[in-house]
């Protein structure tokens, strides 16, 4: 009978360390859970809030696009007290 002990571990080996969840995860998950429960409890209010958010985002996009078109790559100069004159140029992507 041969004694082959190469497969035996002589010391305790630890596995990879598991990172603990971040603070944002610990706070964000319960907030999202409560928001989902509120949305299920009040579906009309949730749909209204979602539609209002979508309209606000689209309105902001159209407003910023109009601002870019109106400036025509003309630089704007703004005087900031204590800093000096800052030149701002808005160009479309």
Rounded to the nearest 5°, which phi and psi values hold at 58? -65, -40
pLDDT of res. 65:
84
Determine the Cα–Cα distance for residues 77 and 17; give it in Å rounded to an integer.
54
For residue 35, what pLDDT is reported? Answer: 92
Q: CB–CB of 87/77 below 8 Å?
A: yes
pTM of the model: 0.50
CA separation for the pair 58, 35 (Å, rounded): 23
Q: Please report, in tens digits, the pLDDT of each residue of the chain (93 residues total).
A: 555 555 555 556 666 666 788 888 899 999 999 999 999 999 999 999 999 999 999 999 999 888 878 777 778 888 889 889 988 877 766
**From the CA atom positions of the chain, what is the Rg in Å?**
29
pLDDT of res. 61 = 94
């Amino acid at each position: 009978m041969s004694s082959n002990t190469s497969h035996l571990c002589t010391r305790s080996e630890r596995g990879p360390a598991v990172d603990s969840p971040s603070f944002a995860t610990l706070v964000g998950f319960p907030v999202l859970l409560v928001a989902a429960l509120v949305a299920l409890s009040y579906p009309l209010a949730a749909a209204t809030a979602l539609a209002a958010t979508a309209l606000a985002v689209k309105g902001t996009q159209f407003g910023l696009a109009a601002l870019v078109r109106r400036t025509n790559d003309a630089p704007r100069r703004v005087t900031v007290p204590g800093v000096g004159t800052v030149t701002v140029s808005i160009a479309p992507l």
